[in-house]
């Protein structure tokens, strides 16, 4: 059965499949590379509203777009309503199709300044931020959050109802508390409860590393869309498999290891072309480590790559690995 499109304000997103914002990962290069696998919407790395206020060059790079990955949502974090409103106007002027508010990040560097999931300790402040951002821009505003700061303070339904009343067009729920970080299992029953509690679209997020499991959770929770994050790293084919199921056809098989590594080479070369070798090499170490997952000798290869500072040398290791993987087939 074909899934329905996700409607965020006046925008129609198809398929209802969203790439999560990931710090240091979802730059414009990765979004453009992953979009063709079947994403309906991509989200930038989350950016500091304070950094935008002061015109940080690095932050402006983080919200830059290719144009290939549209529609694009730009995610903002901060604890001051007026600063968040100013940042929303900036990213809208820079081409954001959607402005997303981050009430979900549990990283200490964000929460120590009361940003991200720390905002959930004060639902009134959450509401003030949402109202200020909605009033500041002429595009849809969405919000991503966790269940609450801790198990004892699950405020997600309260904050989501405030979001709906403030004019927020859709809510994403990562079904863990801030204190959990990424430990334990995401509890999708909370996503089902949220869907029953509000009328605006709900996007479910958390532990979606298998296409069939993802579709079952979407169906059972009633979520209008699903957001994929860490599970796509080194495995963009998961996106294609979920899109297949959303379009009512069987999920295609994961490509063989050599083919996966050939895409890793494309990813690496594109990053070098766009960012330069000095920036691309350290960023690609984590990506290559994940592309190598499940390949014979992966642990040794990862250790080698972590010590390499040259793009040519790293690509040489991957090309050698591809050749070794294909050698048995040639011999046969």
pLDDT at 293: 92
**Confidence at residue 264, expressed as pLDDT on a 0 to 100 scale:** 97
Catalytic residue among 94, 105, 126, 139: 105
Between CA 211 and CA 236 the distance in angstroms is 12
- Predicted confidence at residue 67, as pLDDT, reads 67
Class of domain 257-331: mainly alpha
DSSP class of residue 284 equals H
pTM value is 0.93
Q: Could you give the CA distance from residue 285 to residue 121 in angstroms, rounded to a whole number?
A: 36
Q: Which two tokens stand for residue 13?
A: 């997103």
Q: Show me where the domains of the chain are located.
A: 6-246, 257-331
- Known catalytic residue at 105: yes
pLDDT tens profile 191-215: 999 999 999 999 999 999 999 999 9
- Give yes or no for a contact between 173 and 205, defined as CB atoms under 8 angstroms apart: yes
pLDDT (0 to 100) of residue 70: 78
Task: Report the C-alpha gap between 72 and 140 in whole angstroms.
Answer: 11
Residue pLDDT, tens place only, 50-85: 888 877 677 777 777 766 667 889 999 999 999 999
Q: What is the mean pLDDT of each run of 10 residues along the chain (332 residues)?
A: 92 96 87 94 91 75 70 94 96 93 93 94 97 98 96 96 98 95 93 98 97 97 96 97 97 96 97 93 94 92 94 95 81 49
Tally the residues of the chain. Answer: 332
pLDDT at 214: 97
The domain defined by 6-246 carries CATH number 3.40.309.10: no
Interior angle at CA 311, CA 308 and CA 316, nearest 5: 85
- Write the CB contacts of 47 (distance below 8 Å, at least 6 apart in sequence): 59, 62, 63, 74, 75, 76, 77, 87, 91
DSSP strand pairing (47-48 vs 11-13): unpaired
DSSP 143-172: EEE-SBSSTT-B-HHHHHHHHHHHT--EEE
């Amino acid at each position: 059965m074909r899934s329905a499109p996700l409607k965020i304000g006046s925008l129609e997103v198809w398929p209802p499949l969203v790439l999560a914002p990931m710090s240091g990962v979802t730059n414009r290069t990765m979004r453009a590379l992953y979009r063709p696998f079947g994403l309906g919407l991509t989200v930038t790395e989350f950016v500091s509203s304070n950094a935008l206020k002061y015109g940080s060059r690095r932050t402006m790079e983080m919200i830059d777009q290719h144009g290939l990955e549209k529609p694009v949502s730009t995610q903002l974090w901060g604890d001051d309503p007026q600063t968040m409103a100013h940042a929303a106007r900036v990213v809208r002027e820079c081409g954001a199709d959607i402005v997303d508010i981050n009430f979900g990040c549990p990283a200490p560097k964000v929460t120590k300044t009361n940003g991200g999931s720390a905002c959930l300790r004060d639902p009134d402040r959450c509401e003030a931020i949402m109202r200020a951002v909605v009033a500041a821009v002429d595009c849809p505003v969405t919000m991503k959050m966790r269940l609450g700061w801790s198990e004892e303070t699950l405020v997600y339904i309260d904050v989501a109802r405030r979001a709906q009343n403030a004019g927020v067009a859709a809510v994403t729920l990562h079904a863990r508390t801030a204190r959990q970080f990424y430990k334990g299992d995401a509890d999708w029953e909370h996503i089902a409860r949220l869907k029953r509690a509000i009328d605006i679209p709900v996007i479910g997020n958390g532990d979606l590393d298998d296409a069939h499991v993802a579709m079952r959770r979407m169906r059972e929770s009633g979520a209008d869309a699903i957001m994929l994050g860490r599970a796509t790293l080194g495995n963009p084919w998961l996106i294609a498999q979920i899109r297949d199921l959303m379009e009512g056809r069987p999920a295609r098989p994961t490509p063989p290891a050599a083919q996966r590594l050939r895409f890793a080479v494309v990813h690496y070369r594109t990053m070098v072309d766009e960012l330069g070798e000095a920036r691309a090499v350290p960023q690609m170490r984590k990506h290559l480590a994940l592309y190598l997952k499940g390949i014979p000798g992966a642990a040794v290869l990862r250790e080698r790559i972590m010590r390499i500072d040259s793009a040519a040398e790293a690509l040489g290791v991957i090309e050698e690995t591809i050749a070794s993987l294909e050698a048995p087939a040639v011999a046969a």
